[in-house]
Chain A
């Protein structure tokens, strides 16, 4: 006879499972396999993966790299922040620190860039508004993400990881300018792969 969950079960409780209960377990198992398969599949077929080029970096070195990047491609100033316009295909260095994103970046629609994110002090969160693209920015780690902006416009970077009392003031900007020639869209390039640029420490496998 059936018992409740607060009574000790019968002496031998390893019994045959009812047919309908078994069916549900198999349905659930099959669904779990679908859930699992979707992630590798998206690495192969999908356009959005958090793989990136990842390596450790000393915050001071990163800051120097950002400075160099700003000097090289600076085109103006916005609200006191430098505005840079790097050429398509280049590496873009974005610096997070309490409580600013430096610099303001102008990108071309349809072109590919490697967007590097790192922090000089504490954890920050990269949240691109209104697209809702989010990444964690960890001090001591360089996260290089290959991005292809697919629409023109002004986008804001909101810090979405609590980083101290001025957290809510930490807003940056990315401007995407339209480009008719490349607007047809590039080849989808998913996830890990050789980058080709010499100064990127390509390290896309599971390095930990």
Chain B
């Protein structure tokens, strides 16, 4: 059998091994999402004081399960699929070491199963962070190590694919921007996973009483894994933004230099964000904190602010070049809002930027962290980034991966079309309410803020109960959205209508295929640029210009309001 198949939609040559590796990783990712999602529901219904579903011990156990499955297993398995897609598929190239690919996959799965076993059997009630000297079963740490080694192997494999593609001249010139972005994600992944190995190997030995681990040192290096792995997500997510923009509306790249430089800024500076978690720790001094939490004077924030401009700008320009030139926002009006890939893209950018980004930078400010550390503001922030940003983007690209890679039509397509709306609205309510509850000092990772059995009764204002109630409703809506995603993907992948090898889906009506496939954006011609005419005072992308200025205003307002809140407190120094 020919090791390659030809993609009828894009004309790309797809190596069948790449196909299979992408499928395997994506399927395991979805299973992890399901497990983490069930835990999410249980955790949510416990934190909602009106329900208080689980007992304390089970609550902390499910919180551990939720964190590990979502932040590590779901996301990283999915990213492994993204790496194979962005290299072998986009570059028309073969996978040079299929066996290594499968060994890495098996290592990751075995590691995952070890961790799952220890968590579900109550041998690792240490939460996602597993701060030493809280102790878990040695297999918990060993499982994470095996998982990290497997993932590191995939990163190496990805780099090998890039080398082979270049040597075999699978493409000309430079790699596409999406592959470039995935490459930065891979570099950050290598750094991150090395941190994981550096800290989990001693911790594994410590768990068997073979050596000592300093709790502060653990926190420092562990966050080199814990926070930096979220930066893999950022780089992967931004790559998928460019990818979804290209597939759904033919978004263009305004300037390759700017976008690529922004990715390089991520590689250089984003790993310093480990410091965000150590701002009110006793182990480090102010100079260390200020320097590191700002990622070298906020150069990684600059990178995100650049992408936050170039992605919508590329979308706007791509649509203007194809005739959507009416007014400031005519392009948004004519955008394919019924395409789940496009709506996911928009929600991912907006919620990641407006909620996740602004809160993240604000809470990561050395002094403001005093009024944010370990409160619900922190999970509020990262549910806006990792869930509404990264997971939303991953969900959006799934609606293209199913027909293009799995060669199946999307089952329950009408449901799939509204899925991004349900999920995004739910997560937006959830993360904003959670952040707001944290403003009152409500602690994160806490079974019962009613303190029913405690020595003293602090008692929150009744407003907090209301906000937590709103949070719970938002969370439930999001869980419905997540459940729809899982049902749609699982049914599509295993029972969906198969697409014939030569079926491009072009022009199809009434089938489970997104518009980017049935009616793809037309190729651009040189005369499109002339048809656009001269640009006004706001430049060639006036709509985006207005949007980013609104974003900046919101950022400035939120940032300084927090300084003001801080200034009311006791003097601390």
Contacts and interface: CB of A to CB of B under 8 A. Distances in A.
B102 interface: no
B56 interface: yes
Contacts of A139: 133, 215
User: Chain B interface: which size bin?
Assistant: 35 or more
A87 interface: no
Interface residues of A, number: 105
Contact of A50 (B127, B173, B279): B279
Interface in B287-332: 287-290, 293-294, 297-299, 301-302, 305-306, 309-310, 313-314, 317-318, 321
B371 interface: yes
Contacts of A132: 371, 375, 439-441, 569
Interface string B172-201: 111111100100000000000000000000
B543 to A, nearest CB: 12
A28 B145 CA distance: 39
A33 B538 CA distance: 24
A79 to B, nearest CB: 5
Contacts of A9: 173-174, 176-177, 253, 256
A143 B447 CA distance: 27
A5 B440 CA distance: 43
Given A3-B253, A8-B171, A38 B365 contact: yes
B159 interface: no
B285 A51 contact: yes
Contacts of B485: none
Nearest to B288: A206
Interface string A151-189: 000001011111111111111110000000000001011
B246 to A, nearest CB: 4
Nearest to B451: A171
Contacts, number: 362
A147 to B, nearest CB: 5
Contacts of A11: 172-173
Given A134-B280, A168-B56, A149 B570 contact: yes
B401 interface: no
A206 B292 CA distance: 12
B258 interface: yes
A50 B367 contact: yes
26 contacts: A1-B526, A7-B246, A8-B171, A14-B256, A18-B255, A19-B539, A32-B302, A36-B290, A42-B366, A47-B572, A49-B286, A50-B572, A52-B282, A79-B455, A118-B282, A127-B375, A128-B441, A132-B371, A133-B371, A138-B219, A139-B215, A160-B373, A160-B446, A162-B60, A170-B454, A171-B458
Kindly list the 10 A-B residue pairs having the minimum CB-CB distance in the complex, ordered from nearest: A20-B539, A206-B285, A5-B242, A132-B441, A143-B282, A4-B246, A32-B298, A2-B252, A160-B443, A156-B458
